[in-house]
Amino acid sequence: MSIAGVTSGGAAEQAERITRAASPWIVRLARFGYAAKGVVYVLVGSLTAYGALKGGDGPTDSRGVLESILHRPYGRVLLGVVAAGLASYALWRLVQALMDTEDKGAKLKGLSIRFGYACIGMVYAGLGYSAVQLIFGYGAGKGSDQTSREWTALVFALPLGRLLVGLGGLAVIGFGGWQCYKAFTAKFCEKWKRHEMSERSRSYAMRAGQVGLTARGVVFGIVGIFLIQAALRSRPDEARGLSGALRALAQQWHGPYVLGAVALGLVAYGLYMFVEARYRRMRID
């Protein structure tokens, strides 16, 4: 065996040992991250539902929730905990992408899914960074609507930009449909340590997941429709994010009630994240 082969083999074994040693910590961080994501969704849904049913402030998004946490007693401390949790969730998604913890494989479909994990990780890393900015008094940054418009305008400037935005809208709608499919099949329950759950708790957790995933699917579907509309009209300013999608629901017939129902669904999604934090099976080879 060549010296290069021995060196390569030794490096691989060392990397494997390091990974195994770090695995318990990565799993703990992942669970902490799921819980932090749950907090964000519970607050987004609660604040939006309260505004819809009581005539208060309009729909909010994740960065709006971070600002609301800051203004609570001990807000900076609480926000620091949430920021650490969001960073942990971002790290877990990157680990999923790089180490293929879900066994998606190295073919095109598997690589696409793993790339999606990495993108989600970057999104939550950005959200955690916004929380840190708030803690130090720099503001939360741009809201979801402004961010969507700016990214849409950036893509418009590329060759075939309108087509890319339209395809992006279809992809977002497809992701929303996939969330609804997950809710219908309830296959997400298969990733839980069900032997640690009572029959009643499994039933409640499954219902929370189904309601939450459906609500999330509806929101993503609306965001995708706005992207397609922006592409068809060549107007990037018509793109919307989470708060814009919820605001669109409020403008429909019986809007406050529809918005309230979807907002409560987002609360259910947050509760489902708490279940993921406690019972999800996690494997890191």
Q: Nearest-5° angle of CA 160, CA 161, CA 164?
A: 90
The Cα 181–Cα 48 span in angstroms is: 25
- Please report, in tens digits, the pLDDT of each residue of the chain (285 residues total): 444 444 444 544 554 554 455 578 888 889 999 999 999 999 989 888 887 777 656 567 787 888 888 888 888 899 999 999 999 999 999 988 888 888 888 888 888 889 989 999 998 998 898 889 888 887 666 677 788 888 899 999 888 889 999 999 999 999 999 999 999 999 899 999 989 999 999 999 999 999 999 999 999 999 999 999 999 988 888 888 888 888 888 787 777 888 889 999 999 999 999 999 999 988 766
Bridge partners, residue 273, by sequence = none
The dihedral built from the CA positions of residue 159, 120, 206 and 261, taken in this order, carries a sign that is: negative
What is the per-residue pLDDT for 89? 93
What is the per-residue pLDDT for 6? 40
Q: In the 8-state DSSP scheme, what is residue 198? A: -
Q: In the 8-state DSSP scheme, what is residue 69? A: H
What is the per-residue pLDDT for 22? 53
C-alpha 199 chain-centroid distance: 28
In a 3-state reduction of DSSP, which class is residue 280?
strand
Residue 97: name the closest of 65, 74, 119 by CA. Answer: 119
What is the per-residue pLDDT for 2? 46
What is the per-residue pLDDT for 259? 87
209: Cα within 13 Å, side-chain hemisphere: 24
Structure token digits, residue 123: 């999104």
Bridge partners, residue 192, by sequence = 280
The Cα 128–Cα 125 span in angstroms is: 5
What is the per-residue pLDDT for 56? 58
Q: What is the pTM of this model?
A: 0.85
